[in-house]
Structure 1
């Protein structure tokens, strides 16, 4: 199963000031996958949400209370259905705990004033089955809109805001379906240059027909030159020229403007099912800020490690103290992430 990463390829490239090539994109993707696995191991939990069906033995089989089920590493964000002994449990009788701080919820209990009960199956094994959304939290941000998607398409066309706000590795939600962004390609924005642009580096104002059709930080392509939008003033885009390894070039009035708004996506990700979607909002899942920052730092370190063949070269004038300081800063970020979000050991109460 393909999983999202806790930072995007674009996050790491910006941190490295790395230009786009198929080679370094692959290195970054591997480093991000490794960083995500490392963070899961460090914190003893999985942060991204996933729809699933999971089963447990009746708790009295392990000396527990008949009305309490510890979820252990199967932390819940929300519960869709619960059965025990082949009987459906009324969700009104289910208490997700700890209610003061969850999600994530680490146990569920039956309301002792209700009529529901656990157990009753032919054996204690896998007597209880819960369908729900598992993970740490389902924090999402509406990042823009899309043009619609049929049940099998793997390319999602989005607007400027979404293009600027998502990257390779992002986990998106359209309705009840979740999708993972696996690539981005240029798509005609329908906009053209409102005037000619010379090739001088100092020429940073790019006139377009309608500046409202773009977003800050979005990358655009005119002819063979890529530019990053730093600011928008009316119908003028204030850009960084020759972005992402491209070269300055002159452009004629009327030249078409492209942007990476065609997203290649994995459909029906993290336990969901592919569906038909009419044009609507795009929601992006957001990991905790410390988790995202650590993922970027781990991926930067991992990419540099791979690029150097496993040996980090000292920069000019650098000594062992600089290397120690670098590793110490990364370890401090790991410690802070674990303190804030790590799943701590608990004593099982019976």
Structure 2
């Protein structure tokens, strides 16, 4: 019998293991146009924390007691859809489980880019698209810009660093701890701030970008966002991807430098990657060219077994990942 993780209770603050429950999923016969997928790789992502709250958002909250959803890559093992035969490797949103049954229209074949299949859950999937379109379409970053990236050792941030360098930008990354900072430097970042080193971020960013920044790619919020505001150049553009600092806290974000938005005419824009899915072919063409040129590197933090899903998810909020956090089945 297939198994899946469900939300047992809605977390208050940081989620706990007791907020999750493994459930059995009754076997389902395939209908016309449906496929059965044996999941091989599962993704956990910070945005999932928001879906655990019973609030209105851009995606519905997880239903208590029902299988959760998330990115997954797997192999079709049964099909009633001619366009997606048995043996096809696909990506889809039927994650947090070992087997998924869904309409073939809701799965995507993995593009032939010569990479491991799990790459399509990270650098060549939703996180990579978030980095690509957030940097180039939302922030309108261009050659010569100075770009500040928070959570630069994460799945999204590390890809932002590499795309920005490939497009001839100066990049300043922020990461926690010497090991992660060294890795971000190896990706080409011109300067790296260790936010765990104790120096105030405003002061550290002043030293790294004495002439200020043109672009801020925000994965964190909080003090990182405030430091970016403090050093924003005129007409700077901020792409607000996520604010992991506040996902588990009810405390309001205090921004001492918010008023600098006015005089420096800073544009701050939140975005969702699904806004740009119609341009996926553009993303794969450009990222494929970077792959062939040897420009892109990727790192994965892998947990094994479906039982490890909560541990992998919780690790996102404690600095437990370098690159993309994945679960291998």
- TM-score, normalized by the shorter chain, greater than 0.5: no
Q: Which has the higher helix share?
A: 2
TM-score bracket, normalised by the shorter chain, equals under 0.3
TM-score when scaled to structure 1? 0.23
Larger radius of gyration: 1
Instruction: Report the TM-score, using the length of structure 2 for normalisation.
Output: 0.24
Give the number of the structure whose residues are more often strand, by fraction.
1
